[in-house]
Amino acid sequence: MLIGLADHIQFAVERLQKNLPIKNELLWETKHFYPDEYRIGALAVAFINEQMGVQLPEDEVGFIALKFVEKRAGPNFNEKATNMTQLIESALTLIRHDLLPDIDSSNLNYQRLIVHLRFFVDRLLDESHVQKGENSFDNVMSQHLSESLQERYTSSYQCAQRVINYFEKQTKQKTGVNEQVYLTMHLQRIVDSSI
């Protein structure tokens, strides 16, 4: 990782000096899906700028952050991260279209939704993911809660169902009623906080 990071930094500084910036198309996603790594990238860029007497753009924060994400995630990171990003972006598009056209990305409930979607998609993309048999008590309780949420928060429930249907179709994985409950609650919290 150290050699790869050093090479990247050298190349980034050379590009800057030659006025050849590269746009980071995943900057927004990196910032929101990997906030810890993004903070490390921001510290690194500030240090590089100070030490090298340059002014690297924010795009480099995202590139450096992804180096740390890659290290943590292992060798199959790039394909999985791309799939994860596309799935979450599409889910957010559905949510904006169906429920919340003006989501405030600084809202704590929105950030919680992003974290939930990230872990939800991560579980679906995990090749070793096997739907475990649900505890019958949990299943009954979740079913009752699901019915209550459907009745009380119809719009959030329907939006959650569309997102889940999309995820299941794209990943060819089935989800349980618990995912419907959790996603509905996350969506409703954002709706309630934006009123």
Give the per-residue pLDDT at 86: 86
Q: Which residues contact 133 (CB under 8 A, 6 or more apart)?
A: none
pLDDT of residue 130: 47
Q: Which residues of 173-185 are buried (b: 16+ CB within 10 A; e: fewer)?
A: eebebbbbbebbb
Which residues of the chain have a pLDDT value below 50? Answer: 130
Q: pLDDT (tens digit, 9 = 90+) per residue, 137-166? A: 566 777 888 888 999 999 999 999 999 999
Q: What is the pTM of this model?
A: 0.62
Residue-wise pLDDT tens digits, 17-40: 888 877 877 787 788 878 889 999
| Percent of the chain residues past pLDDT 90, beyond the cut | 37
Residue type at 57? P
Q: What is the pLDDT of residue 83?
A: 83
